[in-house]
Amino acid sequence: MGVKRYIRLFRQAAVNRFALYAASRADLVTFIFGKLLRLGFFVILAVSLFNHTNTIVGYSEGQVLMLFAMMNMIDMLTQALWYRGMYNIKDWIRRGKFDMFLVQPVSPLFKTAAMQLDLFDFITLPVGIAYIIVAWTMLPTQPTLLMAISAAVLFLFSIVIAFSINLCMASVAFWTTENESAWALYRDSVYVARFPIEIFPNGFRAFFTFVIPVLAIVSFPAKTLMGLASPHVLLWGAIIAFAWLALGLTLWRAGLRHYTSASG
Amino acid sequence: MAIINVQHLTKTYVSYKKEPGFLGTLKSIGRREKKIVSAVNDISFQIEEGEFVGFIGPNGAGKTTTLKMLSGILWPTSGEATVMGHVPWKREARFQRNFAIVLGQKNQLWWDLPAHDSFLLNKEIYEIPEKEFKKRLKQFGELLNIGHLFTVPVNRLSLGERMKCELINALLHEPKVLFLDEPTIGLDVVSQKAIRDFLKKWNKEHGATIILTSHAMADVEALCERVMVIGDGTLKYDGPLEKLVQSVADHKEITVTFTEPVRRDDLKAFGRVDRHSSLQTTLHVSRKDVPVVAKQLLEKFAVADLLIEEIAIDEVIRQVFKQ
């Protein structure tokens, strides 16, 4: 019953946000154009690079495209499902608007993340899926069924990791109300993850794979599909995902308790 | 048994002092002086079911902070409270389903969409059956004469219309406990009265327990039999409004309208003359002398009208804080 209620809520919030965007058609056109342009830019970049060389640090054209397609899909889902609310929370906290998230019988986390959903974020989803299919067909070795299942599980772990990292960043806003640079760093790091991680120094790579796992988010599922992942990748993925989820939820609960509202 | 029970509730905030200017900013990066602000200090009270209670006091007195703790928005620093048997800051769904808060200075409606879209979201949040939702919306629309504006974007509504919609949004699930923080702030007198009349009717018909904070003393006078005066985070008075007026104001105002001009000097013997024109005067008269003075005025002058009033509630509050 609880789940059904949350689905209805999710749907109604999505309908309201759709109405908001639809109210300004000029914004809508710019929004979609911007999204498609961003998707196109990387393909142009990749094609240009491979016109001059056959591999990048040993990765073929198809493998590089798979890294990009995986980053793009995770980024797309992140944007669509929770990023907007978690990013905006610092402003709601500063202005005291978050008060209203705490007085209704709905999880404040659900209200923060999922109820800010925008259906237009899904417009580019088919393009994202198409990228994965094209990259898949261009891989030098076709993935086995086991590799595909492992990659799907790791993809889910990646979603959990991305959500948890964002949740930690959103929670910090209860104390600082200003963490713009942390969000900028996160986005830059995720964009960096679309490149083969071998181009980075070892220490950097280890830090951003196991400690702040922004590189793992993309490389774990993508490299599994390429047959380049370590045999323990599933275990690592699970450990990192659950550890970050636990950290995120703990910080979030502490933040809700610490919330001081704003006067006026 | 009290529906709201508050024991020794205290809330302190930590803030940091910063000297003005660029140098002050540089200094504050290195070392900041901590400042503990006591917003609510050891407040205790009980409220019975169905009561309409007014929280009054100057800005920063602790009224809104108290309401926010009772709503579960803020965790207290110390003390205990229960609302309908629930500890508010535990934010249990069973508590939240039966209460609502309206913050006059904060929007709960979706700003760029018609109010009806916000109502639909609340319908899902509170699981209001479709039939009941439509019925309540129709009733509210008629009572507040606003139904025809439910489909107009909120940003196109006047402040008064918006507040009516905010109230409807908060009351759709028929809460048993309602907290209203400055619901008439910025409204014209007509809208203020419409909101007051509606709240009075709603309280009577639904038996809801309501706490109202307002700087508009007309709201408090019209709606609340019991008031709590809060200042510097402490409870200065808790009781009937009438008793507060009597205990603070040792005098009443007698306003006399004459049929022919009367000189100010001729009235001085009856009490302090507060306002005077040739055909009307307002006298400040000791409470115990009122009957005698009224009789004498009627005997000595040609009186068209005589009105005996308690002093304005705003003045009473000023007196409380002066003491």
Greater confidence (A225 vs A116) lies with: A225
Handedness of CA B67, B70, B72, B78 (dihedral sign): positive
pLDDT score, position A153: 96
Q: Which residues contact A92 (CB under 8 A, 6 or more apart)?
A: A98, A101
pLDDT score, position A89: 92
pLDDT digits (tens, 9 = 90+) for A144-165: 999 999 999 999 999 999 999 9
Can you tell me the mean pLDDT for B114-137? 94
Q: Does A13 touch chain B (CB under 8 A)?
A: yes
pTM (2 d.p.): 0.82
pLDDT score, position A147: 92
pLDDT score, position B97: 95
pLDDT score, position B43: 95
Share of chain B above pLDDT 90, in %: 61
> Can you say whether residue B45 is alpha, beta or left, with left for phi > 0 and alpha for psi between -120 and 50 degrees?
beta
For residue B219, name the pLDDT band (cuts at 50, 70, 90). confident
pLDDT digits (tens, 9 = 90+) for B228-282: 999 889 998 999 988 888 887 788 889 999 999 999 999 988 989 988 998 999 9
How far apart CA B246 and CA A192 sit, in angstroms, is 73
Query: How far is residue A253 from each of residues A52, A108, A246, B253, B322, measured CA to CA in Å?
Result: 52, 10, 11, 56, 43
Report the gap between the CA of B272 and the closest CA in chain A (Å): 40
Can you tell me the mean pLDDT for A107-121? 83
Can you tell me the mean pLDDT for B4-12? 96
In the block, tokens 């509504």 appear at: B157
Put simply, the answer to whether A105 touches B126 (Cβ < 8 Å) is: yes
pLDDT score, position B98: 95
| DSSP one-letter string for A143-165 | PPHHHHHHHHHHHHHHHHHHHHH
Q: Which residues contact A148 (CB under 8 A, 6 or more apart)?
A: A225
Element (H, E) at B135: helix B130-143
Q: Does B126 touch chain A (CB under 8 A)?
A: yes
Closest Cα in chain A to B88:
A103
Can you tell me the mean pLDDT for A22-30? 70
How far apart CA B304 and CA A2 sit, in angstroms, is 69
Mean pLDDT in chain B? 89
**Cβ contacts from A onto B, under 8 A:** 72
Greater confidence (A4 vs B135) lies with: B135
For residue B224, name the pLDDT band (cuts at 50, 70, 90). very high
* DSSP 3-state of A137: helix
Residue B254 pairs in a beta bridge with B283, B308
Handedness of CA A84, A90, A96, A101 (dihedral sign): positive
Which residues in chain A have Cβ-Cβ distances shorter than 8 Å to B93? 105
In the block, tokens 């007198």 appear at: B189
Interface test mutation site (partner A, options B106, B119, B123, B156, max chain A beta carbons within 10 A)? B106
For residue A26, name the pLDDT band (cuts at 50, 70, 90). low
DSSP state, residue A211: I
Put simply, the answer to whether A103 touches B97 (Cβ < 8 Å) is: no
pLDDT score, position A49: 67
Q: Does A16 touch chain B (CB under 8 A)?
A: yes
DSSP state, residue B149: G
Whether A264 shows a pLDDT value over 60: the answer reads: no
Can you tell me the mean pLDDT for A47-58? 70
pLDDT score, position A170: 92
pLDDT score, position A86: 92
Which residues in chain A have Cβ-Cβ distances shorter than 8 Å to B123? 12
Q: Which residues contact B60 (CB under 8 A, 6 or more apart)?
A: A263
DSSP state, residue B86: B
How far apart CA B38 and CA B79 sit, in angstroms, is 14
How far apart CA B311 and CA B257 sit, in angstroms, is 18
Put simply, the answer to whether A264 touches B105 (Cβ < 8 Å) is: yes
pLDDT score, position A262: 75
How far apart CA A180 and CA B115 sit, in angstroms, is 32
Q: Does B101 touch chain A (CB under 8 A)?
A: yes
Closest Cα in chain B to A93:
B73
pLDDT score, position B21: 76
Whether A216 shows a pLDDT value over 90: the answer reads: no
pLDDT score, position B51: 94
Can you tell me the mean pLDDT for A197-210? 81
Q: Does B106 touch chain A (CB under 8 A)?
A: yes
Contact A251, A172 (CB under 8 A): yes
pLDDT digits (tens, 9 = 90+) for B77-111: 999 999 999 999 999 999 999 999 998 878 889 98
Handedness of CA A60, A61, A64, A66 (dihedral sign): negative
pLDDT score, position B254: 92
For residue A42, name the pLDDT band (cuts at 50, 70, 90). low
DSSP state, residue B75: -
Which amino acid, residue A45? L
Query: Counting beta carbons within 10 angstroms of the beta carbon of residue A173, is it exposed (0 to 12), middle (13 to 18) or buried (19 or more)?
Result: buried
Which amino acid, residue B230? I
Q: Does A104 touch chain B (CB under 8 A)?
A: yes
Can you tell me the mean pLDDT for A57-63? 81
In the block, tokens 């899926």 appear at: A129
Greater confidence (A26 vs A102) lies with: A102
In the block, tokens 């991305």 appear at: A162
Which residues in chain A have Cβ-Cβ distances shorter than 8 Å to B72? 102-103
Contact B238, B66 (CB under 8 A): no
pLDDT digits (tens, 9 = 90+) for A136-146: 998 888 999 99
Mean pLDDT in chain A? 85
Tell me how many helices (H) and strands (E) chain B has: 11, 13
User: Which backbone phi and psi does B185 adopt, to 5 degrees?
Assistant: -60, 130
Q: Does B154 touch chain A (CB under 8 A)?
A: no
Put simply, the answer to whether A16 touches B71 (Cβ < 8 Å) is: no
Q: Measured between CB atoms, which of B13, B93, B113 is closest to A105?
A: B93
User: Which domains, ranges and CATH numbers included, belong to chain B?
Assistant: 4-10+46-246 (3.40.50.300), 250-322 (3.30.70)
Contact B224, B54 (CB under 8 A): yes
pLDDT digits (tens, 9 = 90+) for B52-83: 999 988 888 899 999 999 999 999 999 999 99
pLDDT score, position A263: 65
Handedness of CA B54, B58, B64, B70 (dihedral sign): negative
Q: Contacts by A24-28 with C-beta closer than 8 Å and gap 24+? A: A28/A120
Query: Counting beta carbons within 10 angstroms of the beta carbon of residue A73, is it exposed (0 to 12), middle (13 to 18) or buried (19 or more)?
Result: buried
Whether B127 shows a pLDDT value over 80: the answer reads: yes
How far apart CA A203 and CA A192 sit, in angstroms, is 16
Half-sphere exposure of B195 (CA within 13 A, CB side): 30
